[in-house]
Structure 1
Amino acid sequence: MDMSTETVERTDLRQPLVDPKNSEQKPQKEVRSLESVLSESSLPYRRRVYLGACIEMKLLFRLALPAILVYLVNSGMSISTRIFAGHIGGKEFAAVSIGTSYFNFVYGLMLGMGSAVETLCGQAYGAQRYEMLGIYLQRATIVLALVGLPMTVFYTFSYPILLLLGEPKTVSYMASLYIAGLIPQIFAYAVNFTSQKFLQAQSVVAPSAYISGAALLLQVLLTWTTVYVVGMGLMGIAYVLTISWWFIVLAQSLYITTSPTFRHTWTGLSWRSFQGLWSFFKFSAGSAVMICLEMWYSHILVLLAGLLKDHALSLDSLSICMSISGFSFMVSIGFNAAISVRTSNELGAENPKSAMFASWTATFVSFVISLAEALALMMSRDYVSYIFTSDADVAKAVSELCPFLAVTIILNGIQPVLSGVAVGCGWQTFVAYVNVGCYYIVGIPVGCILGFTFDFQAKGIWTGMIGGTLLQTLILLYVTYRTDWDKEVKKARKRLDIWEDKKEPVLT
């Protein structure tokens, strides 16, 4: 059979609503080619795998590389605040570390709720039901903004809460001031994560990368000015970070509302976005729990470090390790975003073989990259901490923790990609249960026992954390291996068909 002929025939069955010459539509043709290659029984198995890998790698990296850049830049914005604070003083560095970990609770909440947009928009776009995407975007933004209102109260009273958690008084006070300057970011997150997922579902990721890159440059320049020229200290760092996030939001929103690329997926504000808010909240809550439990897991490590004997040294060394881990994690999150788009698009387009093949390809590629990162870290373990601080004691502590960090980086090369598959399929609630069991019933209790009872300190806490992550990764590997992809296609189709009848999302 002529493969190119079959591709053309499949393409003709569903003409996209947008201009086929538009570069954003090129992946649609290649997706169908991938399914036809994987289904071609006349080709040897190894040949099908080779041809499929060539097609999928091109699609994967087209999505993953800009997404990685976006997340690296976003992570770089957070890391740069720690670098500036570290060069002001040790207490300032500890305050920013605790403040960032504390504030990242809402970051995880908003990012998690935004992943519901990724599932629904991705499957709708794969099925070429473009009119649904704009409604989902507006509905999600409304829900996230409403959730942000009580969060402002939570962060307003951060000082007594940090004291209640047992953090040092001086550091808690400084951290609470830093957090106060970040509160407007809550609503920037509400808009940013929904619009970001809206773009990713359509394989439009490069503009977000350019915008984020410009925001990072703006932040570094303004932070240097406020710290070294104006002398605003921690508050200057916080204000600039908030301004940078709102710059991203405004630029991204302007791009969506003015670009002709989205003339079929964004048709303007609609009252229909206020319908089905409760249904959307329930589904996004499952997504939020899944993502939050993952993100909070590592930040709890930093908060626990504040309760150890030598809390200043433990906080500084663990914060540096978490910054490095977070920076590496952004690479895996880029693949997470790419595979959730690939999986949801394929399921919406009724391509079960392509969905399965894309899932395992992304997992393998991310694992290889994380392995290389871990090896590079071990080679530079004695020097890497000097990026953040000039303290020799902290550098020694970081060097001792690097083997634990290397294992974490390798696991983080696999687990986020599998979570991306879960988002693409809509398994968020199931993964949330897995996260509760692995992280909070196994990982944290074991870490506390090793760290405090057996006095292994930071190494003991981290060992327990690694155990929880390993258990979760093994479970997700097994579930993905056992997935019936034809059944997942039927679930996606049913969800979209019922929405077409009732004009509201069916999220079961």
Structure 2
Amino acid sequence: MGGKWREFIEELKKMSCIAAPMVAVTVMQYLLQVISVIMVGQIGDVLLLSGVSIATSFTSVTGFSILFGMAGSLETLCGQAYGAKQFQQLGQDPSISRVAYKYSLYLIPNLFSYAILQSLVRYFQTQSLILPMLYSSCATLCFHIPLCWAFVFRLRFGYIGAALAISLSYWLNVSLLVCYMKYSSACKETRGVFSRDVLLSLKIFFRFVIPSAVMTCLEWWSYEVLILLCGLLPNPELETSVLSICFTITYLHYFIPYAFGATASTRVSNELGAGNPESAKMAIWIILCIAAAEIITVSTILLRCRNFVGYAFSSEKQIADHVADMAPLICLSVIVDSLQAVLSG
């Protein structure tokens, strides 16, 4: 019994060292989009907020969710390779639509940086190299906040400036991680080079990438379609803004259990690659216990702060009051999403 307890504590330490910084990394990366929405919300124009919300939903459905899901397959493939020491292996209000159209155009460059960033995240994550991602994400967030403020308010680019700031910040994050991968001795053995083996492994890669992308897309689309449908309601500007804020809160939280799931994925794939199924099983139970504690904490905080949360995104009292009314449903979504995210990992 004592031996099992020591193994449990040892595994808990390993997972904590990965999970804590991984949570910070994923949350800070998503905060780039959240901060841009907040900046637009503080302009005080509900039309701009609803248009940016629609644009964010549209680009998530058509681009970011697919790239995010495809990159998720790397957790399995890269994690097992590292463990085995195989190191080379709809109709909207016209005024809202016009804002959404312009904002979407300026988000297009993000697709390229986002694709590279998500692949790099999995590359570092499966080797438990979390600190480089933590530092680069922190530096990017510190760069993004004043940049976004300057573009939106100082240079008076408005909501277009928020989209431009996201693009520049993502590319900065990518540049920092690429430099670390190229020059750090920690990546010496896993730093890949293009060869014939890459082409030969594409078949195996697509066996994982397609189901992973479909799974993620179906989950994201179920939320985003609701936001798009809000544009058909009698007061589309208000309804779209409120639901978008609720989903933004849900998404922001989602990346916490997602990081837990990514931690479990890393530990499980590493241990399976090394031929240790019992350690992999223990990792699953530990991460479920951590997730349960996190669910209770976040749900309690959201309920207690429900009357103030909406003001972080908009100065409009009507919007903030509607967000407060939605708090119980947000908490329910938090509970279900957390369990799903962890078990998916």
> Which 5+ residue runs of structure 1 have no aligned equivalent?
1-43, 133-164, 421-508
CA distance in 1, matches of 2:162, 2:176: 21
Pick from 366, 377, 381 the counterpart of residue 302 of structure 2.
Answer: 377
Q: 2:157 aligns with which of 232, 236, 239?
A: 232
Q: Does 1:93 align with 2:49?
A: yes
> How do residues 178-327 of structure 1 correspond to structure 2 at under 5 angstroms?
178-327=103-252
Structure 2 counterpart of 1:154: none
Aligned to 1:454: none
- The answer to whether the Cα contact below 8 Å between 1:81 and 1:96 also exists between their aligned partners in 2 is no
- Which residue pairs with 1:63 in the alignment? 18
Shift of 1:282: 4.1
Greater Rg by CA: 1
Q: Which runs of 5+ in 2 are unaligned?
A: none
- Residue in structure 2 matching 1:72, options 27, 44, 49: 27
Q: Is contact 1:257–1:268 with CA below 8 Å preserved after alignment?
A: no
With structure 2 as the length reference, what TM-score do the two structures score? Answer: 0.95
Q: Which amino acid in the other structure matches residue 274 of structure 2?
A: A
CA distance in 2, matches of 1:267, 1:168: 49
The answer on whether the counterparts of 1:96 and 1:175 sit within 8 Å (CA) in structure 2 is: yes
Residues 1:110 and 2:35 aligned together: no
The one-letter amino acid paired with 1:97 is S
Alignment of 1:127-166 (within 5 A): 127-132=84-89, 165-166=90-91
| Residues in 2 aligned to 1:193 and 1:317: alpha-carbon distance in whole angstroms | 29
2:286 corresponds to 1:361: yes
For 1:48 and 1:311, how far apart are their aligned partners in 2? 60
Aligned letter for 2:227?
V
Give the C-alpha shift of residue 277 in structure 1. Answer: 3.1
CA distance in 2, matches of 1:169, 1:267: 48
Q: Secondary structure at the match of 1:130?
A: coil
User: How many residues align structurally?
Assistant: 343
Correspondence list, 1:449-468, <5 A? none
Q: Aligned AA for 2:46?
A: G
Deviation at 1:271, TM superposition (A): 4.6
Residue 99 of structure 1 and its aligned partner are, at CA, apart by 0.7
CA distance in 2, matches of 1:49, 1:318: 47
Please give the alpha-carbon distance, in whole angstroms, between the structure 2 residues aligned to 1:270 and 1:189: 24
Q: Summarize the Cα distance change of 1:296–1:48 in structure 2 as closer, same or farther, 3 Å threshold.
A: farther
What SS does structure 1 have at the residue aligned with 2:58?
A: helix
Corresponding residue for residue 9 of structure 2 = 54
Is 1:122 paired with 2:79?
yes
State the 1:369 CA deviation: 0.5
* Percentage of pairs with the same residue: 33
Render the CA deviation track for 1:359-390: whole Å, top value 9, x for unaligned: 12101211210111001110111111111112
Q: Quick one: structure 1 residues 267 and 326, their matched pair in 2 at CA, closer, same or farther if it must change by over 3 Å?
A: closer
AA paired with 1:75?
Answer: Y
CA distance, structure 2, for counterparts of residue 340 and residue 52 of structure 1 = 19
Q: Verify the 8 A CA contact 2:69 2:209 in the aligned structure 1.
A: yes
Distance 1:57 1:246 in 2: 34
AA partner of residue 125 (structure 1): Y
Q: 2:343 is matched with which residue: 415, 418, 429?
A: 418
Tell whether the 8 Å contact from 1:370 to 1:412 is kept in structure 2 after alignment.
no
- Cα displacement (A) at 1:311: 2.3
Letter in 2 for 1:96: V
Shift of 1:124: 0.9
| In 1, Cα distance between equivalents of 2:53 and 2:317 | 19
Matching residue of 1:408:
333
Separation in 2 of the partners of 1:296 and 1:74?
20
Check whether the contact 1:325–1:405 (CA below 8 A) recurs between aligned residues: yes
1:338 is aligned, of 253, 263, 278, to 263
CA contact (8 A) 1:110 1:190 kept: yes
Q: Of the two structures, which has the highest relative contact order with CA contacts closer than 8 Å and spacing of 6 or more?
A: 2
Q: Is the 8 A contact 2:140 2:172 kept in 1?
A: yes
Distance 1:261 1:289 in 2: 33
Q: How far apart in 2 are the matches of 1:279 and 1:412?
A: 29
Residue 415 of structure 1: how far off its partner (Å): 1.1
Residues 277-286 or 325-334, more deviating? 277-286
Q: Report the TM-score when normalising by structure 1.
A: 0.65
- 1:199 deviates by 0.8
Give the conservation status (yes or no) of the 8 Å contact 2:40–2:152: no
Give 1:267 shift.
4.5
Shift of 1:131: 2.3
How far off its partner does 1:245 sit? 0.7
RMSD (CA atoms): 1.5
Letter aligned with residue 369 of structure 1: E
| 1:206-257 deviations in Å (ceiling 9; x for gaps) | 1111111111111111111111121111221111111111111111111111
Task: Report 1:25-64 matches (<5 A).
Answer: 44=1, 47-64=2-19
Change (3 A) 1:298 1:68: same
The 3-state SS of whatever aligns with 2:30 is helix
3-state secondary structure, aligned to 1:350: coil
State the AA in 2 paired with 1:312. E
Pair 1:206–1:242, CA change in 2 (3 A)? same
